[in-house]
Amino acid sequence: MDIPIEKKRNILLTSHNGSGKTTLAESILFNAGMTDKRGSVDDESSVLDNTPEEKKRRMTLSASLHHYRWDGFHVNIIDTPGYSNFFHEAIGAMDVVEGAVVVVSSAGGIKVGTERAWEYTEKKGLKRMVFLNKMDHERAEFDVRLKEAEEVFGKKMLPLTIPAGERDGFRGVVELLTMKAFIYDDDGSGKFKKTDCPEELKDHALERREALIEAVVEADDTLTERYLEGEELTVDELTRALRSAVLNDMFVPVMCGSALKNVGVNLLMDAVNLYMPSPLDREVFGTDVSGEPIGFETQQDDTQFIAFVFKTLIEPFAGRLSFLRVYSGSVSPDSTVLNTTRDVKEKLSHLYMVEGGRTREVGSASAGDIVATAKLKDTHTGDTLVAGNRKVVFAPPERIPAVLSYAVTPKTKGDEEKLHSAMEKLMEEDPGVEFRRDDETKEFLISGYGQAHLEVIVERLKRKYGCEVELQRPKIPYKETIRSTAKAQGKYKKQSGGRGQYGDTWLELSPLPRGAGFEFVDNIVGGVIPRQYIPAVEKGVREAMQSGVVAGYPVVDVKVRLYDGSHHSVDSSDMAFKIAASMGFKKAMEAADPVLLEPIMKMEIVVPEENMGDIMGDINARRGRIQGVESRRAGYTTVKALVPMAEIIDYASDLKGMTADKGTFTMTFSHYQEVPPHIAEKVKSAVSKER
């Protein structure tokens, strides 16, 4: 591309769902001349929310890429989902940008999704701006939201623009550095008149300007000195110092406006150029093939090509489209590159600029660019591509554990193979999706971040691959064990003319500590059972353990001692001893106080403090045990608990309802423990009905 790297910007828009990110992006693209008409989420004309699933729900479901040019700068902009079920898309996009615009509704305030977005931008080291949106809303409150942002985000917030009026009277903004007012036409065109600051706003604007300048000059000792001496500083000098302050995290600049009415959006675009980092402002870290860390500065010319594949789209007919962030050097179509993650060579065919749901072919890409290429054979999301001697490998995207699983079955038997193939492709497109076979329950499980996420997966399966499926509550992988020691004889004798079958075993079963599994002890002496039949005895026991005597679930944590038996010189066989051992195991288990075990999950639930009592009461009602409570961040608490899996199959949906979608949780398997007798009876009854 013909843009120097210092004039490239890579930013994403992030916040809670409904804050106006996509509307803001559509106004930006319209102002830059990338679209003839501003797209709208509500009338399904958005160039960014372009899939049938997004149009149906009127919300962003995946990170959508576009680009624009503004005042000599080239900006790649990524619109990201704010809804919790799809937030993993935003996290993945944060790896390939330098800056973020955090959109806050001046009417609705800072919601949990925006807090979460802020936490991750902090973790990823992104430089940030805040855009206070919806200043025309009937509940808009500029000063209240500014104060709230400082309290919630824990950073100094300094406005670069203030509203000229609020709510029904909102008509423009005042730019503090220049003290100029921008008064906009009311037709969404973005056209404005630039005037001096209105008299009624001047005192307030000067007060805000003074606070801004005091913070800005701290970034430059020379300016500080001149300012303290009463010298007037130029706008250009303040602009340079402001950029330095933002890059050094001294404060966060705040802009305001209305994305829907296209008010203040052009000034935000100016601010992205002026204050957001270029690719040169961020050091990049990877490793060599041996895992040793490598840090390098982004360079555009005459350096080795290094790029990271951060996203993949797969269309049934068009094939795979791989999204690349170029970190070093340049590349052109028909280049051969090395995938250092998998140690395979790939040929880049065409290169494309991505424009929402469309692509436009380009002749090259260089450091700082985000492009796409088609039909790479062995390259997947999270892989690194290089051309040259330096074999850099980037870490794969962060993966957040799924929280909701359902059993999935094709509606028609012939779709079973189609399901596996389609799910492989969907998992590559959406790293938040999991698909696996549960060895315990023999079910195929599909996992994601909530009910809406799973519904979208099902819709995509049907639309893209013609595979219709049904979701059902997954079976709980119960197990069985024993609580006491018991002995029993297992004897199999069959005579029906000719050679018969004879096997005779005496087994002792005793309990093992929870999680110990299975232990087989051979205590045969004197050859009462010949050595060659001992493996058959163990095999018979193991097979019998696959279906216990309580409700037919696998048996665990049992020690089986073979201590006596007998054989027949002609009729004994491996099969006879295997059957005898199975019979003996079942008898002994019935006498050894058998019980049902259930999986217990370790949970960490992050909720607003005002919901903590309800959450703890709910966990207790689910037979859970609270392990601890910790303060997490302003207004939020982490509740740690151990809860039976059977009680939290639908917890993602339940928690959303209890906390108005402000709560989040993670869970991992902890251990197995006994099922209370009254619950065990219900499980046995359900199993009997099913059979």
Helix (H) or strand (E) holding 126: none
**Residue 483 φ then ψ, to 5°:** -115, -5
d(CA 199, CA 691): 82
pLDDT at 634: 63
pLDDT digits (tens, 9 = 90+) for 570-581: 899 999 999 999
Q: What dihedral do alpha carbons 622, 625, 631, 637 form, nearest 10°? A: 0
Question: Mapping DSSP to helix (H, G, I), strand (E, B) and coil, where does residue 298 land?
Answer: coil
> What is the DSSP code (8-state) at residue 83?
S
Helix boundaries (H) for 473-573? 534-544
pLDDT band at 302 (very low <50, low <70, confident <90, very high): low
Is residue 544 within 8 Å of 523, Cβ to Cβ?
no
Helix (H) or strand (E) holding 559: strand 558-566
- Nearest by Cα to 414 from 485, 472, 467, 340: 467
pLDDT digits (tens, 9 = 90+) for 16-44: 888 999 999 999 999 999 999 988 888 88
Work out the mean pLDDT of the chain and round it to a whole number.
91
- Nearest by Cα to 297 from 288, 306, 309, 310: 306
d(CA 241, CA 252): 13
**% the chain with pLDDT above 70:** 98
**Two domains, one topology: 301-387 and 404-472:** no
Q: What topology is assigned to 301-387 in CATH?
A: Elongation Factor Tu (Ef-tu); domain 3 (2.40.30)
- Nearest by Cα to 266 from 30, 445, 502: 30
CATH (one of 1.10.3210.10, 3.90.1150.10, 3.30.70.240, 1.10.3720.10) for 597-690: 3.30.70.240
Q: Chain centroid to CA 628: how far?
A: 26
Question: Mapping DSSP to helix (H, G, I), strand (E, B) and coil, where does residue 636 land?
Answer: strand
pLDDT at 649: 86
CA-CA distances (angstroms) from residue 408 to 53, 404, 420, 464, 677? 20, 13, 11, 17, 30
pLDDT at 660: 80
Q: What angle do CA 480, 481, 484 make, to 5 degrees?
A: 150
- How many CB atoms neighbour CB 534 within 10 A? 18
d(CA 120, CA 90): 9
**% the chain with pLDDT above 90:** 70
Give the long-range contacts of residues 321-324, CB within 8 A, separation 24 or more.
Answer: 321/352, 321/359, 321/372, 321/373, 321/374, 322/372, 322/373, 322/374, 322/376, 322/379, 322/381, 323/65, 323/354, 323/370, 323/371, 323/372, 324/365, 324/370, 324/371, 324/372, 324/373, 324/385
Helix (H) or strand (E) holding 556: none
- How many CB atoms neighbour CB 397 within 10 A? 20
Question: Where are the domains positioned within the chain?
Answer: 5-209+249-281, 301-387, 404-472, 479-592, 597-690
Tokens of 223: 């300016």
Is residue 184 within 8 Å of 191, Cβ to Cβ?
yes
pLDDT at 147: 94
Burial zone of 369 (CB within 10 Å; 0-12 exposed, 13-18 middle, 19+ buried)? buried
CA-CA distances (angstroms) from residue 362 to 118, 333, 445? 34, 9, 41
Query: How many residues in total does the chain contain?
Result: 691
Question: Mapping DSSP to helix (H, G, I), strand (E, B) and coil, where does residue 66 land?
Answer: strand
Is residue 47 within 8 Å of 39, Cβ to Cβ?
yes
What is the mean pLDDT of the segment spanning 314-327?
87
d(CA 251, CA 247): 9
Q: Which residue has the tokens 């280049």?
A: 335
Q: Which has the higher per-residue pLDDT, 379 or 349?
A: 379
Q: What angle do CA 142, 189, 132 make, to 5 degrees?
A: 15
Tokens of 404: 């909701």
Helix boundaries (H) for 111-192? 112-124, 142-153
pLDDT at 165 > cutoff 80: yes
pLDDT band at 309 (very low <50, low <70, confident <90, very high): very high
pLDDT at 495: 76
Question: Mapping DSSP to helix (H, G, I), strand (E, B) and coil, where does residue 683 land?
Answer: helix
The CATH number given to 5-209+249-281 is 3.40.50.300
Radius of gyration of the chain (CA): 32
CATH class belonging to 479-592? alpha beta
- Nearest by Cα to 19 from 98, 110, 117, 127: 110
What is the mean pLDDT of the segment spanning 221-228?
89
pLDDT digits (tens, 9 = 90+) for 516-568: 999 999 999 989 999 999 999 999 999 999 999 999 999 999 999 999 999 99
- How many CB atoms neighbour CB 405 within 10 A? 21
Q: Which has the higher per-residue pLDDT, 595 or 230?
A: 595
- Residues paired with 442 in a beta bridge: none
Q: What angle do CA 490, 494, 497 make, to 5 degrees?
A: 165
- How many CB atoms neighbour CB 301 within 10 A? 10
CA-CA distances (angstroms) from residue 394 to 130, 182, 243? 29, 44, 29
Is residue 588 within 8 Å of 630, Cβ to Cβ?
no
pLDDT band at 633 (very low <50, low <70, confident <90, very high): low
d(CA 18, CA 105): 8
Q: Chain centroid to CA 574: how far?
A: 52
pLDDT digits (tens, 9 = 90+) for 443-498: 899 999 888 899 999 999 999 999 999 999 898 999 999 999 999 999 999 877 66
pLDDT at 412 > cutoff 90: no
- Between helices 574-590 and 534-544, what is the axis angle to 10°? 50
Tokens of 61: 């479901």
Helix (H) or strand (E) holding 56: helix 52-57
pLDDT at 60 > cutoff 70: yes
Q: Which residue has the tokens 């309290």?
A: 151
Across the chain, how many H-helices and E-strands are there?
16, 36
Is residue 283 within 8 Å of 295, Cβ to Cβ?
yes
Burial zone of 25 (CB within 10 Å; 0-12 exposed, 13-18 middle, 19+ buried)? buried
- Nearest by Cα to 618 from 639, 596, 601: 639
Q: Chain centroid to CA 572: how far?
A: 59
pLDDT band at 297 (very low <50, low <70, confident <90, very high): low
> What is the DSSP code (8-state) at residue 449?
S
Report if pTM > 0.85. Answer: no
The CATH number given to 404-472 is 3.30.70.870
**Measured on CA atoms in the order 174, 175, 180, 183, is the torsion positive or negative?**
negative
